[in-house]
């Protein structure tokens, strides 16, 4: 190619970029070739490289957050700010041990959170790598095989049976091909595409072989345009909101108490350094240092458990979202159904046996074509050896002009005959007995249509004789075997399943009826302009119906949006490109087994095994994980309140620091370190969706926190007024009490009934016992504090256990006030 020729090509290539996509999809082929500066001979390798630089790889770019920025994000927010404030105060007060320990906790929280999300990202990246596909294309006049990402507009590709179309292309001269677009449109049945027509990236060639001219790649394809909707779909995590609310609650409380103390200290004339030291201690006490880490680890452990059940979590917060899902929008094709045609009971004329109708249709079918209709008919044969002894002399495959297949066959006796199958009206026109059977056949076809079946006519001709109509074969896309039971189980767990499909109303209704979802199906074609808000009546219909028919990608996205606006936590299952925007928009998107790249990238959970039953397992597991997080949140707030209020009142009333800064840091290290084991605890899951009830969480925690302050002052009173201990010994006494009673609190908050109602996991027992042995040894032998001795340590343990029993009774009363539904939980199944 000359330099000027290359320049002309590059100049002409700027045209399709500005031209509307539909132009290249519908313009006459000579004009398309002119705009793309290409021909059926393809491109040169040099020209292809230039276009690759111009257009970029043929892939859908995903938004990727810079790893450093992602890591730094863990240092931003109310809780990290509080930890950072404590670090600064430690440095100002020159409390270097405190400074080092708090800084380590801050870094540990960020590293754990970042690592867990990074691991989840690697998992989905590995999945996508397995799905990379190749393309046959013509370069420099020769056919070569390259990765599909190397394709550029103007390339000529070869498509054959079973190929996934790698880019949007116009078909060149050849016989028509059958294309499966179910991953794009949700339609079960393949469509016929003739030379000159467009085929879209992500669709599958079902019959035939043909060359095609690529006119759009990457984000400019139909596939890519669909995934652009995902950029609009950003649903904030309820988990993030809950953590922020807890953090804000503690911040406001800490700031208020610090302000009170500073004001009192100024009136008393206390030295500023002492006041600053107290502000440091109080700030440390107010920080739920390990809360983000514990909650992240709890979800990460749950993610690993789900992975063992063939469900890969790509976004940790999705586990908490799944626990709250109360509406599950399930894509029909390939999700509720098998995405595979099945033969129903035939309609026969003139008393011809059903087996004979199927047999003749099977002779007019070919397995090696992998045509879905042919395979369905062949699968309908009861005797798989019935075709042996019959020689197919000539076979005419289906084409859009004749709309039927035809085979010339020699029977076992050597007599030739012909068989055909196809569109019923076409087969009827061929048949000599059409007039006699027309009314009965039309009635049968209408009945099949009402039940969601597609009809296939069958006829036979002996030798050169006339065609005789034999009967009608009904075809359907059958539901998955476990789908009905899965839907029933989901309903029992408080999750309403809604079917979403691009199929016609009749098929949608029949599928819904078969699956026990009712027949109240809404036609999405009536949504109109989905950019506008619905009337209240339509929004209510969307909320109440059992499913939606004739749905386009923007409708799916819109259905999710309306349900979310009406207060629902929405899950979405799907496998195709057309599901991707809704998967991203949903609170929890679930890509089922065999999903496309786009669906997997958009989903929060990717299923690696077929069937929906794993979704129920995932919901159960997510609800157990939620219970663990909820228990920890109540525990952490309770302990923070105890320390905050006890220290503040001690300063205000007695002008005395009941514990030192080092004691506070040691409490955080021992208690929050061991409490990570709650991620493995035994819990009950509820048969209804979970949600963060901050009124209940803060209410229960506040009651338990206040009771803890009462018990702490009781011990303080005994130590100072009854036993006349000095202040140094009282500080050690109070440290051990706060440590022992604090860890016993987890056995209160982990159950909504009496503390013995659910047996704790062994790992939790060992963690609590181990850390409290360490805390007791520290107090007894006086590491960083005044030695207490074994006698006083035993007294503290007895005191803490007695109050533990009192606190359990108070907890039960508090649940009656803040959560009247708590009692029935005791009747639920225990799950280890």
Q: Is residue 58 a contact partner of residue 218, using CB atoms and an 8 Å limit? A: yes
CA distances from 547 to 331, 512, 610 (A): 10, 8, 22
d(CA 676, CA 800): 22
Element at 485 (helix H, strand E) = helix 483-492
List of residues 6+ apart from 162 with CB closer than 8 A = 204, 205, 370
Numbers of helices and strands, H then E, in the chain: 30, 26
Q: Judging by DSSP bridges, how do beta strands 496-500 and 327-331 pair with one another?
A: parallel
Cβ-contact 542, 563 below 8 angstroms: yes
Q: For residue 501, give the nearest of 529, 477, 481 by alpha carbon.
A: 477
- Tokens found for residue 338: 């098998």
**Tokens found for residue 238:** 């309820």
Reply yes or no on whether 98 is catalytic: no
Task: Calculate ∠ Cα 232-233-235, nearest 5°.
Answer: 135
Provide CB contacts within 8 A for 11, sequence distance 6+.
Answer: none
Q: Angle, nearest 10°, between helix axes 613-649 and 238-268?
A: 0
Contact status, residue 218 vs residue 49, Cβ threshold 8 Å: no
Helix or strand or coil: residue 15? Answer: helix
**371 neighbors 398 (Cβ within 8 angstroms):** yes
Alpha-carbon dihedral 196, 201, 203, 208, rounded to 10 degrees: 40
Is there a contact between 495 and 327 (Cβ–Cβ < 8 Å)? yes
Residue 328, strand partner residues? 497, 571
d(Cα 362, Cα 407) in Å, to the nearest integer? 10
HSE-up (13 A, CA, CB side) for residue 300? 19
From 155, 331, 477, 561, active-site residue: 331
DSSP state of 145: E
Q: Cβ contacts of residue 255 below 8 Å, gap of 6+?
A: none
Instruction: Please spell the DSSP secondary structure of 726-769, one letter per residue.
Output: -HHHHHHHHHHHHHHHHHHHHHHHT-SS-TTSSPPPHHHHHHHH
Catalytic residue numbers? 331
């Amino acid at each position: 190619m000359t330099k000027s020729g290359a320049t002309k090509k590059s100049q002409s290539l700027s045209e399709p970029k500005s031209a509307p996509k539909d132009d290249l999809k519908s313009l006459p082929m000579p004009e398309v070739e002119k705009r793309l500066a290409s021909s059926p001979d393809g491109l040169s390798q040099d020209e292809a490289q230039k276009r690759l630089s111009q257009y970029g790889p043929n892939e859908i770019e995903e938004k990727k957050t810079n790893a450093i920025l992602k890591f730094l994000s863990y240092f931003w927010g109310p809780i990290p700010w509080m930890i950072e404030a404590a670090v600064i105060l430690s440095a100002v007060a020159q409390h270097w041990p405190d400074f080092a320990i708090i800084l380590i906790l801050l870094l540990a929280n960020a590293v754990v959170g970042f690592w867990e999300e990074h691991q989840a990202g690697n998992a989905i990246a590995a999945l996508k790598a397995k799905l990379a596909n190749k393309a046959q294309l013509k370069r420099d006049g020769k056919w070569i095989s390259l990765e599909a990402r190397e394709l550029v507009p103007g390339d000529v590709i070869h498509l054959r049976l079973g190929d996934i179309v790698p880019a949007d292309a116009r078909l060149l001269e050849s016989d028509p091909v059958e294309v499966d677009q179910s991953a794009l449109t949700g339609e079960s049945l393949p469509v016929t595409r003739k030379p000159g027509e467009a085929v879209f990236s992500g669709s599958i060639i079902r019959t035939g072989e043909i060359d095609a001219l690529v006119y759009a790649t990457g984000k400019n394809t139909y596939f890519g345009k669909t995934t652009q909707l995902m950029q609009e779909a950003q649903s904030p995590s309820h988990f993030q909101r809950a953590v922020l609310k807890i953090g804000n609650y503690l911040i406001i409380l800490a700031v208020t108490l610090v302000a009170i103390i500073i004001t009192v200290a100024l009136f008393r004339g206390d030295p500023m350094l002492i006041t600053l030291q107290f502000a440091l201690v109080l700030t440390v006490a107010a920080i739920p240092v390990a809360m983000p880490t514990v909650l992240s680890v709890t979800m990460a452990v749950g993610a690993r458990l789900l992975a063992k059940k063939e469900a890969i979590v790509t976004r940790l917060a999705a586990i908490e979202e799944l626990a709250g899902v109360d509406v599950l929008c399930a894509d029909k094709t390939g999700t509720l159904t098998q995405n595979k045609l099945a033969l129903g009971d035939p309609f026969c004329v003139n008393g011809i046996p059903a087996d004979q109708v199927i047999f003749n249709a099977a002779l007019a079918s070919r397995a090696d074509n992998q045509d879905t209709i042919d395979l369905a008919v062949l699968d309908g044969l009861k005797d798989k050896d019935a075709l042996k002894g019959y020689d197919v002399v000539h076979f005419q495959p289906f084409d859009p002009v004749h709309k039927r297949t035809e085979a010339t066959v020699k029977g076992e006796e050597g007599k030739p005959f012909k068989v055909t199958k196809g569109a019923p009206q076409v087969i009827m026109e061929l048949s000599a007995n059409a007039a006699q059977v027309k009314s009965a056949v039309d009635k049968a076809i209408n009945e099949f249509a009402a039940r969601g079946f597609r009809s296939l006519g069958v006829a036979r001709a002996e030798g050169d004789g006339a065609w005789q109509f034999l009967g009608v074969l009904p075809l359907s896309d059958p539901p998955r075997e476990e789908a009905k039971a899965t839907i029933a189980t989901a309903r029992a767990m408080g999750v309403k399943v809604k079917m979403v499909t691009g199929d016609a109303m009749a098929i949608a209704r029949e599928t819904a009826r078969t699956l026990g979802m009712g027949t109240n199906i809404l036609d999405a074609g009536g949504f109109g302009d989905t950019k506008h808000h619905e009337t209240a009546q339509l929004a209510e219909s969307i909320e109440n119906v059992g499913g939606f028919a004739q749905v386009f990608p923007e409708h799916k996205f819109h259905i999710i949006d309306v349900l979310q606006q009406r207060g629902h936590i929405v899950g979405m299952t799907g496998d195709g490109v057309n599901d991707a925007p809704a998967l991203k928009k949903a609170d929890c998107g679930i890509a089922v087994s065999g999903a496309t790249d786009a669906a997997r990238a958009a989903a929060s959970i990717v299923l690696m095994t077929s069937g929906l039953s794993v979704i129920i397992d995932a919901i159960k597991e997510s609800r157990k994980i939620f219970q663990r997080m909820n228990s920890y949140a109540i525990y952490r707030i309770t302990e923070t309140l105890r320390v905050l209020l006890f220290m503040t009142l001690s300063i205000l009333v007695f002008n005395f620091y009941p514990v030192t800064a080092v004691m506070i840091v040691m409490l955080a290290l021992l208690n929050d370190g061991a409490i990570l084991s709650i991620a493995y605890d035994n819990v009950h899951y509820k048969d209804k969706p979970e949600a963060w009830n901050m009124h209940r969480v803060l209410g229960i925690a506040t009651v338990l926190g206040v009771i803890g302050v009462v018990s702490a002052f009781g011990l303080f009173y005994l130590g100072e007024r009854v036993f006349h201990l000095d202040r140094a010994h009282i500080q050690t006494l109070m440290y051990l009490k706060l440590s022992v009673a604090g860890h016993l609190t987890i056995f209160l908050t982990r159950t909504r009934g009496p503390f013995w109602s659910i047996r704790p996991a062994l790992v939790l027992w060992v963690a609590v016992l181990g850390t409290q042995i360490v805390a007791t040894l520290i107090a007894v032998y006086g590491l960083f504090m005044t030695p207490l001795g074994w006698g006083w340590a035993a007294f503290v343990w007895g005191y803490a256990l007695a109050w533990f029993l009192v606190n359990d009774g108070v907890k039960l009363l508090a649940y009656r006030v803040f959560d009247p539904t708590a009692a029935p939980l005791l009747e639920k199944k225990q799950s280890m």
